[in-house]
Amino acid sequence: MSVQLQELLIFCLTVTQGGCMFPGNHWGEWNDSQLLPTIQRLMKGYNRYLRPNFNEGPVEIGMSLDIASIDAISEINMDYTATIFLRQRWRDSRLVFPGNESVSVDGRLVSLLWIPDTFIPDSKRSFLHDVTVENRLIRIFSNGTVLYALRITATIACIMDLTKYPMDKQVCTLQLESWGYNIQDVVFYWTRGNDSVKGLDTLRLAQYSVESYYTSVSEAVYETGHYPKLVLHFSLRRNVLFFILETYVPSILLVVLSWVSFWISQSSVPARTCIGVTTVLTMTTLMMGARTSLPNANCFIKAIDVYLGICFTFIFGALLEYACAHFYSMQHQTIEDLHRELLREFCESNGNGSIPIVSSSQPNQSVEVGSTAEEPAEEPVNSDIKDHATAKEKVPSQGCGLSTVKEASRRAASVFIVENPHNIDRRARTVFPTAFLFVNILYWLYYLFL
């Protein structure tokens, strides 16, 4: 019935006073028996297709908002979903009636009145709530002022700068524009300035807190003309405590765990290798998990990426440190074995395996050094060098050959060996924590205060 009746009404419209009127006593889906007497009088000769003050100047429309909730803020899609109560006020001189009272009418009567064509330009998806009926309110005051309120849920785009994520602050906007009426037809304004927006002060979000907000009035410029625009700006500060417990603390603990290998003996190859590989793989998993809630393709180098990269570098460095320490330890062992072999061959070349180097002060008594090939092998390298240097001074003819061979071999390998490979671990115990602490200080100072 409604579709056929609307088609009939459009066909029967007559031009009167520069507009169209409903013929007879029918008002769209409504008839005289369904409308109040006051509404019946107001609707006589009313043309909903013409704006108020037609050919007399623009209509001033006041706006106010109640933010009921911000349900979701997505960094992947760069948008937020909000439920708002939008209230619009304007004056229509055709709806003036005697008295000082106001008339609240059924929201379905909106089809009988002229209403602004307000829309949200950055909206991706939106809908009007209709449980249990369409959430609309129409109130007409005696001076012709019309209050039109509705409840909307919209997903609105918000361009985000994730450079300092998760220590970031995002500034999002909610824009209201007129779709077809330009600034010569309608003028938008906030009814009470910044106080026109309610609900942001008491809003509680999972990862954010509302830091500040303000309103502004501007114009939207398109190819078809200049259109009125109202903008609500609000700043959202991300709560970093969740990320500290979820990402930063585990990363720090993994780095500290990688340092445990510095106190494990270099001969314990499985233990140190297991710690190094396990921490590297765990850190890789943590880095992948931290990026699941972020855009897959993003040009931003985020703060959390920088920190995870730092931690991964220290963990991987600890693994490389053991590789170097183990390499030099094995090389040092090889050089020691070479020294022993050279000493054994030298001693064997003398025939009897003993070298008399000095006579005692008493007659018929002598002192022998290096009587067997095994004794020098049990002494440390430094004492071995000292003893043979003494032998060189006292018996130049025999000690010179041994010292020369050892010195030549030492010089050949001095470029590639470390005298004591255990010093690598000792220095790493100090260098790694100090460097990590220094980098952390620079990191937090930069991202929190700059």
- How, if at all, do strands 118-119 and 30-31 pair? unpaired
Say what the pLDDT of residue 417 is.
57
Question: Taking the CA of residue 106 as centre, how many other CA atoms within 13 Å lie in the half-sphere pointing to its CB?
Answer: 11
Question: How far apart are the C-alpha atoms of 97 and 77, rounded to whole Å?
Answer: 50
**Shared-domain flag, residues 169 and 247:** no
**Shared-domain flag, residues 193 and 314:** no
Question: How far apart are the C-alpha atoms of 143 and 90, rounded to whole Å?
Answer: 11
The number of beta carbons lying within 10 Å of the beta carbon of residue 330 is: 11
Choose one of 188, 221, 238: the last residue of a domain.
Answer: 238
DSSP assignments along 269-326, one per residue: HHHHHHHHHHHHHHHHHHHHHHTTTS-SS-----HHHHHHHHHHHHHHHHHHHHHHHH
Confirm if 234 and 198 have CB atoms less than 8 A apart: no
**Shared-domain flag, residues 192 and 247:** no
- How, if at all, do strands 123-128 and 145-157 pair? antiparallel
Strands, DSSP E only, in 192-272?
197-198, 208-222, 225-238
Q: Tell me which residue of 29, 32, 10, 30 sits closest to 20, measured CA to CA.
A: 10
- Listed as own residue / partner, the contacts of 303-309 with beta carbons closer than 8 Å and 24 or more positions apart are 303/163, 303/164, 303/165, 303/166, 303/167, 303/168, 303/443, 303/447, 304/165, 304/166, 304/243, 304/247, 306/443, 307/247, 307/248, 307/251, 307/443, 308/247, 308/251, 308/283
**Shared-domain flag, residues 206 and 279:** no
Choose one of 238, 262, 292: the last residue of a domain.
Answer: 238
**Shared-domain flag, residues 234 and 244:** no
pLDDT tens digits, 53-66 = 888 889 999 999 99
- The model's confidence at residue 89, banded by pLDDT at 50, 70 and 90, is very high
Checking if the pLDDT of 3 tops 80, the result is: no
pLDDT tens digits, 12-32 = 333 333 333 444 444 444 444
Question: How far apart are the C-alpha atoms of 402 and 406, rounded to whole Å?
Answer: 6
Checking if the pLDDT of 287 tops 50, the result is: yes
**Tell me, what CATH number does 88's domain have?**
2.70.170.10
- The model's confidence at residue 367, banded by pLDDT at 50, 70 and 90, is very low
Question: How far apart are the C-alpha atoms of 201 and 280, rounded to whole Å?
Answer: 44
Look up residue 304 and give its two tokens.
Answer: 């959390």
Domain count, the chain: 2
**Tell me, what CATH number does 255's domain have?**
1.20.58.390
Reported as type and span, the H/E element at residue 256 is: helix 249-259
Checking if the pLDDT of 364 tops 90, the result is: no
Q: 116 in a domain, yes or no?
A: yes
Look up residue 113 and give its two tokens.
Answer: 């009145």
Look up residue 89 and give its two tokens.
Answer: 């006020």
Question: How far apart are the C-alpha atoms of 408 and 395, rounded to whole Å?
Answer: 20
DSSP state of 361: S
pLDDT tens digits, 249-266 = 999 999 999 999 999 888
Question: How far apart are the C-alpha atoms of 83 and 396, rounded to whole Å?
Answer: 99
Q: What percent of the chain has pLDDT over 70?
A: 73
Q: 110 in a domain, yes or no?
A: yes
Confirm if 214 and 233 have CB atoms less than 8 A apart: yes
Choose one of 195, 220, 238: the last residue of a domain.
Answer: 238
**Shared-domain flag, residues 244 and 299:** yes
Q: 31 in a domain, yes or no?
A: no
Residue with tokens 């929190």: 448
Q: 381 in a domain, yes or no?
A: no
Judge if pTM exceeds 0.85. no
234-238, 374-378, 402-406 — which is least confidently predicted?
A: 374-378
Q: 313 in a domain, yes or no?
A: yes
**Shared-domain flag, residues 222 and 328:** no
Amino acid at 208: Y
Confirm if 115 and 59 have CB atoms less than 8 A apart: no
- How, if at all, do strands 355-359 and 59-74 pair? unpaired
Q: 395 in a domain, yes or no?
A: no
**Shared-domain flag, residues 74 and 179:** yes
Say what the pLDDT of residue 327 is.
81
Q: 159 in a domain, yes or no?
A: yes
Is residue 133 classed as helix, strand or coil in its secondary structure? coil
Q: 370 in a domain, yes or no?
A: no
> Containing domain of residue 167, as a range?
36-238
Q: Tell me which residue of 298, 299, 333, 322 sits closest to 419, measured CA to CA.
A: 333
Which residues have C-beta within 8 Å of that of residue 116, sequence separation ≥ 6?
59, 61, 88, 90, 148, 178, 181, 186
**Shared-domain flag, residues 102 and 194:** yes
Say what the pLDDT of residue 313 is.
95
